[in-house]
Amino acid sequence: MSGKNPGNNSTIGWTPIDDTDDDLFHSAPPGLTRATVSDDHIGPIPLVDVDLKLNDGTHVVINYGIIKTASTVFRDMLLPFYGGRPHLYLPNDDPKAMLAILKVLHYKWPVDALPSPAVFAEIAHLVHKYKMKESMAFAISTWLEKFIQDAWDKDFRDTAHRNLFAICLLLDSPGNFEKVSRGLIHDYGGSIEDMGDIRMPDSIRGKSQAVAALDLKRSKAADTLRKMVDEKVLRWLATRAHHSPVPSCQTPGQCIAKFTAAFKHDLHGIHAQNEHRSIASQLHYWGHGKDSTDAPREIFAERFPCWALKVGLCDFCADASDLERELIPEIGKAVLEWKLWFQDSCTGVCLDCVKRNGSDTGRRCRIDYCDSITRESEQSEEVDGPDDSKNS
């Protein structure tokens, strides 16, 4: 993605972690082992075991003090067991994601390991649900950095890459949210509402505003590109019709009028618009995408002759023999201008702005050129785990 991100080009992989690879997590009946705590912990942490049962039947023995400190939700769940041995059941939580979280909290997660994208999405959901953002901050930050870099390198092609938009919103990570949304503005052409399959609680503040802001910014970026290209194309036609050597167009006024009307309104599909059209694919169509010199493709220069005949241009104006020599370089200038505009003036979505939704009118956004807020908004004995809808 030229001009999008100065990050490294690298390929990441994730490491599957065996659920029974140490003495903290086991499938045997609870009580056989006990979680260990380092001697240099800060403050008195009671060495009390908590029996945790996951929905796949796995029993986990964890330290009471660690889980209580890491999550206020778990702390409240453990209150009924004051003075006794707690037994908790988490029927609604993904077991792999919960095990990964517990490994991180108990310093059992390998430093170079990376959860799979699917597990990471569930981890984000549980971190939000159990209010563990602070206790999981380092691991989440490390994983997000790697996943976002991978998404940029691969042009946000996969659903897992697009899930990062919801994950960063769920984890309330403004900097990463801006990076992900900027990549999606450039590379994603599908429906914003159907962008990913991560479970996103409806109660998340700013969800609808974030989706609307992303769609608005993507439309603005696409419209800006189209206007820049249209200006070059229409100027080229006028110059060609009036000033080209003989033989030239005998009815320049008619051809220019037909061309302009059809081109501006895309009456015959000259812009190759379709349902899933990203800005990256539009750059490719104009002959200046990242892979514009690779495999055979349908680009403007190849579509022009057929389109011109449908519009009703004369034979001279429909002749594309000088497109490569005259027009394509001009379009290249327009694309370069757009890339500079995108790099300097088109930001991603500001999470702080969409969450406030115009409620703090005196606040200046930390992002230059931010227009994340729409014009309208600027006006104005065994205890079950917590239910998702209540804790979202």
List, for residues 264-273, the tens digit of each pLDDT value. 777 667 776 5
Which domain range does residue 331 map to?
224-345
Predicted confidence band of residue 380 (pLDDT cuts 50, 70, 90): very low
Cα–Cα nearest to 117, from 146, 95, 90: 146
- The number of beta carbons lying within 10 Å of the beta carbon of residue 175 is 13
d(CA 363, CA 357) in angstroms, rounded, equals 12
Q: Is 384 helix (H, G, I), strand (E, B) or coil?
A: strand
Establish if 215 belongs to a structural domain: no
Domain boundary among 42, 59, 94: 94
Give the tens place of pLDDT for each residue, 83-95. Answer: 667 888 999 999 9
Q: Quote the pTM value.
A: 0.74
CA gap 100, 282 in Å, rounded: 41
Of 52, 75, 94, the residue that ends a domain is 94
Q: Which of 61-70, 209-218, 242-251, 338-347 has the lowest mean pLDDT?
A: 242-251
In a domain, 27, yes or no: yes
Tokens of 229: 């290209």
Name the least confident of 16-25, 150-159, 177-186.
16-25
pLDDT digits (tens, 9 = 90+) for 162-174: 889 889 988 889 8
In the block, residue with structure tokens 């039947």:
57
Q: Which of the listed residues 72, 94, 116 is the one where a domain comes to its end?
A: 94
CB 224 within 8 Å of CB 218: no
Q: Is residue 40 part of a domain?
A: yes
Kindly state whether residue 213 falls inside one of the protein's structural domains. Answer: no
Decide if 373 is inside a domain: no
Number of domains in the chain: 2
Q: Residue 340's pLDDT band (boundaries 50, 70, 90)?
A: very high
